Amino acid sequence: MAEPPPAASSATPPLSNGVLVRRLFGLAWKYRFHCIGVLSLQVVLLSIGIAGLSFTGLGIDYIRSRVEGVPLGENVLGLVPPPDWSPLRVLGALACAILLFAVTRAFLNYFYSVSANKLVQQKIVTDLRAQVYDKLQRLSFRFFDANNTGSIITRVTGDVQAVRMFIDSVLIQSVIMLISLTVYVVYMVNLNVRLTLVCLATTPLLAVASTWFSKKMQPEYKLNRTLFERMVQALSESIQGIAVTKGFGREAEDRERFNRANRAVYEQQRGIFWRVSLFSPTIGALTRVNMLVLLGYGGWLVIHGQLPLGTGLIVFAGLLEQFSGQVNSVAWLVNSVQQSLIGARRVFEILDSPVEVESAPDAVRCGRLRGAVRFDAVSFAYTGINPVLRDIDLDVAPGQCVAILGETGAGKSVLMSLVPRFFDPTLGRVLIDGLDARDLHLDDLRRNIGLVFQESFLFSNTVAANIAFGHPDATMEQIEKAAKIAAAHDFITALPQGYDTVLGESGSGLSGGQRQRLAIARAVLLEPAILLLDDPTAAIDSETEHEIFEALDRAIAGRTTFIVAHRLSTLRRADFIIVMEHGRIVQRGTHAELMRQSGPYSRVAQLQLIDGAALQNEGRAK
Ligand SMILES: Nc1ncnc2c1ncn2[C@@H]1O[C@H](COP(=O)(O)OP(=O)(O)OP(=O)(O)O)[C@@H](O)[C@H]1O
């Protein structure tokens, strides 16, 4: 089977690298004080490192002056051993200073690691993840239709890490690199300008090579994220569809599908790794050319007395070594830049996605609604071209129960989804208590609506917490009352820990009927003015359905109710019925009125009556 193409992540055009970098800088600005703290530590570490190196050079020159009689020249630090000190005392003092520098460096390095980790993992990653998660909660269903679970999970986990990499491995490291390189160059120039120029002649070449490599690698990193996303999607689908896979005996194919996705990630990552691993030593070899130049020209300067050995050549060699080390890490820096830009683009796509359904700034706050619902010339299209609801006019008075009948795909669910504003109508208005639903505060509107879907999702939490999901402050008395209305109290008390029984993932451990009853209790606890029941007994046997309908009768009482139903027993209970076909209401009226008309309703009813009569006859014949 061909792999699916990567999901369209956003309707907005992709952000350019320049815009991305500007936004990443903006993000880093939020953490500027922490960044400055971490950088200051690095500057101190750098200074101590250079001081240690200078003291080593001074020690060598001092020994040379004592052994060979070469006069101790000036050094950058301007240090001269006191003339009345014995050689042993001078060397002892230098050795103690070098040791002190090393110990201080070790301590400061520890503090640097701790504070860098605190900044990156505890602040940036946690904040950004919370920001992305918050946005996900506010995004509309259209976003979740367009992006698969694998893509969303990868963005919240891996890609957020990539953004932190920009601040940690790119921004902070680049500043450190810039400061270090400047300090090294200034020190080297101070020692000998010409030696510095010849030793660093190859450096511009390295900059050109790194830029070229960076451009070449960008598509590879992009592909890597896509392949990783596919692997997570394969995993997520295989877990969600485990019953279907096992039921159809397709475990081997499923395993092969995951392995293919896994292998694709591995092979592509290996390609990146090899290229980066080759680039890094190549840059390293180029920087080694500097050392050859230093030994040749620097050695000549020492021999001709134009450069001291210790504070000159040795210190220069140490600085050049550090300089080369920093330049060497350019390859990894380029690697990090690419990874972080790809990740950042994917994270910003979520943060920039438009929140289609939200409260207007001047939204009307309301307490309990009466529950009058009116659809006024409503049409709705998911994609803008094919309307799935057309010209819907419907008036439901507070407390009325309207049943919706229609063949599959007729638009029953989408009609109901406009009431809590899961989507807004493309044309027309949905009025709640006479006000456009778009003018009401979204939280208040949804708090007035109880929902039960065809199959209800429960969370891995206690039974009580699941019932109180929409009203976490509910008392145990309120929870039990809701459970009794939903005919759930008896089976809950029979569970090992009663209301404190912890349910498995998605409510596993309960039967379909039990899950639906908990969902009804959850909806009832809100004391909603409006109840939306989307075929709540679709996945339930007829005996359980009968019990659930008794519960629903109690739940419906006094609330405006929309119920998608197919069975006559349910349809008869409603105050009136609408019949939908291809997104339109084609019939409306009470059961008795519709039975008198010829049309889809009477046809469906006749079929059910014939089936019922046939069953009764069979029963009598036996
Ligand atoms: N997320 C979506 N994106 C695009 N089209 C959709 C989406 N969800 C549903 N549709 C289409 O909208 C139409 C109405 O779907 P809806 O779910 O309301 O049907 P329904 O009457 O509730 O069907 P059923 O009884 O099978 O649940 C269908 O043609 C369906 O293909």
Residue-wise pLDDT for 455-472, tens only, equals 778 888 889 999 998 888
Burial 352-377 (b: 16+ CB within 10 A, else e): ebeeebebeeebeeeeebebbbbbee
Determine the pLDDT at residue 128. Answer: 84
Look up residue 140 and give its two tokens.
Answer: 């509309």
Rounded distance from Cα 416 to ligand 1 centre (Å):
11
What letter would DSSP give residue 366?
-
Determine the pLDDT at residue 618. Answer: 63
Q: How many Å apart are CA 398 and CA 118, to the nearest integer?
A: 55
The closest residue, in CA terms, to atom 3 on ligand 1 is 382
Reported as a single tens digit per residue, the pLDDT across 547-583 is 777 777 777 888 999 999 888 877 888 899 999 999 9
CA distances from 302 to 200, 277, 308 (A): 19, 37, 6
What letter would DSSP give residue 254?
H
Determine the pLDDT at residue 74. Answer: 67
Q: How many Å apart are CA 378 and CA 219, to the nearest integer?
A: 45
Q: CB under 8 Å to 17, separation ≥6 — which residues? A: 341
Rounded distance from Cα 531 to ligand 1 centre (Å):
20
User: In what helix (H) or strand (E) does residue 238 lie, and over which residues does it extend?
Assistant: helix 203-240
Which atom of ligand 1 is found nearest the CA of 406? 21
Is any ligand 1 atom within 6 A of the Cβ of residue 389?
A: no
Q: How many Å apart are CA 152 and CA 145, to the nearest integer?
A: 11
Mutate to test the pocket of ligand 1, among 382, 405, 567, 580 (most ligand atoms within 8 A of CB): 382
The closest residue, in CA terms, to atom 24 on ligand 1 is 408
Look up residue 150 and give its two tokens.
Answer: 């694998």
Does the model's pTM come out above 0.80?
A: no
What are the residue ranges in the chain where pLDDT is below 50?
1-10
Rounded distance from Cα 319 to ligand 1 centre (Å):
69
Determine the pLDDT at residue 214. Answer: 75
Is any ligand 1 atom within 6 A of the Cβ of residue 388?
A: yes
User: In what helix (H) or strand (E) does residue 587 lie, and over which residues does it extend?
Assistant: strand 584-589
Is any ligand 1 atom within 6 A of the Cβ of residue 409?
A: yes
**Prediction ipTM score:** 0.95
Of 193, 199, 192, 181, which Cα lies nearest the Cα of 309?
192
Q: How many Å apart are CA 55 and CA 49, to the nearest integer?
A: 10
Cα dihedral sign, 164-168-169-172: positive
Is any ligand 1 atom within 6 A of the Cβ of residue 418?
A: no
Look up residue 544 and give its two tokens.
Answer: 């359980």
Is any ligand 1 atom within 6 A of the Cβ of residue 382?
A: yes
Q: How many Å apart are CA 109 and CA 252, to the nearest integer?
A: 51
Is any ligand 1 atom within 6 A of the Cβ of residue 144?
A: no
Determine the pLDDT at residue 255. Answer: 87
Is any ligand 1 atom within 6 A of the Cβ of residue 412?
A: yes
Q: How many Å apart are CA 246 and CA 254, to the nearest integer?
A: 10
What 91-97 contacts at long range (C-beta under 8 Å, 24+ apart), as own/partner pairs, is 91/59, 91/62, 91/63, 94/55, 94/58, 94/59, 94/62, 95/59, 97/55
Is any ligand 1 atom within 6 A of the Cβ of residue 310?
A: no
Rounded distance from Cα 583 to ligand 1 centre (Å):
9
At 405, the amino acid letter reads L
Q: How many Å apart are CA 617 and CA 622, to the nearest integer?
A: 9
Q: How many Å apart are CA 48 and CA 110, to the nearest integer?
A: 15
Q: Where do the domains of the chain lie, and which CATH numbers do they carry?
A: 31-352 (1.20.1560.10), 364-448+568-622 (3.40.50.300)
Give the strands of the sheet with 449-452, arranged side by side: 449-452, 530-534, 560-564, 401-406, 576-581, 584-589
The closest residue, in CA terms, to atom 28 on ligand 1 is 409
Cα dihedral sign, 384-389-392-398: negative
Mutate to test the pocket of ligand 1, among 413, 455, 563, 578 (most ligand atoms within 8 A of CB): 413
The closest residue, in CA terms, to atom 2 on ligand 1 is 382
**Interaxial angle between packed helices 87-117 and 32-67, expressed in degrees from 0 to 180 and rounded to the nearest 10:** 160
